[in-house]
Amino acid sequence: MATDPDPETTGTGYLSADHDRLDALLVELTALVAAGDLAPAARLLGGFAAGLGRHIRLEDELLFPTFARVTGHDGPTAVMREEHRMIEEHLAGMEAALAGGDPAAFTLERAALVAVLGDHNVKEEAIVYPLTDDHLPDGARARLVAELRAFR
């Protein structure tokens, strides 16, 4: 099995590790809602939404423009941006559902989010991130990783 790309030196590694971190938060969040622990679930959702929101902005504002510049193509990232808007809608739906104390509505919105997010993350990790890394010389790749880490 290939080793995972290094989160310290590649955009692929850094962004894939952030996907994994957010996926783990979503698993924890889903378990809290299933157990009826809605107050801690709402707090965790706040952290998940902030983390996912940052990840999306980081791609829209930094990674995707870099991809378009180094590859000369913006078609793949245009699709990714459209999917970001769908992800944001379902995330807002999850927040509204928990704020309204409606776990059934939360579950529907969460399923809709996962339906978009699963394939979306696979496409990013398999295509968008590695192509960006591959087109950057080592020094420029190191600068991209530093910018990704510093992004707020």
Q: Which residues bind Fe ion (CB under 5 A)?
A: 59
Closer to Fe ion at the Cβ: 84 or 110?
84
Task: Return the closest-CA partner of residue 27 out of 102, 114, 103, 112.
Answer: 114
The tokens for 104 are 């059934």
Q: How far is the CB of 130 from Fe ion (least distance, A)?
A: 14
Report the SS3 class of residue 103. Answer: helix
Closer to Fe ion at the Cβ: 59 or 109?
59
Closer to Fe ion at the Cβ: 59 or 133?
59
Q: How far is the CB of 77 from Fe ion (least distance, A)?
A: 9
Task: Please state, in angstroms and rounded to a whole number, the distance separating the CA atoms of residues 10 and 134.
Answer: 9
Chain residue at closest Cβ approach to Fe ion: 59
Q: How far is the CB of 132 from Fe ion (least distance, A)?
A: 12
Report the SS3 class of residue 5. Answer: coil
Q: How far is the CB of 29 from Fe ion (least distance, A)?
A: 19
Task: Return the closest-CA partner of residue 113 out of 128, 101, 134, 97.
Answer: 97
Closer to Fe ion at the Cβ: 33 or 77?
77
CA neighbours closer than 13 Å in the CB half-sphere of residue 46 = 6
Q: How far is the CB of 37 from Fe ion (least distance, A)?
A: 29
Do 12 and 129 touch, CB atoms closer than 8 A?
yes
Closer to Fe ion at the Cβ: 102 or 125?
125
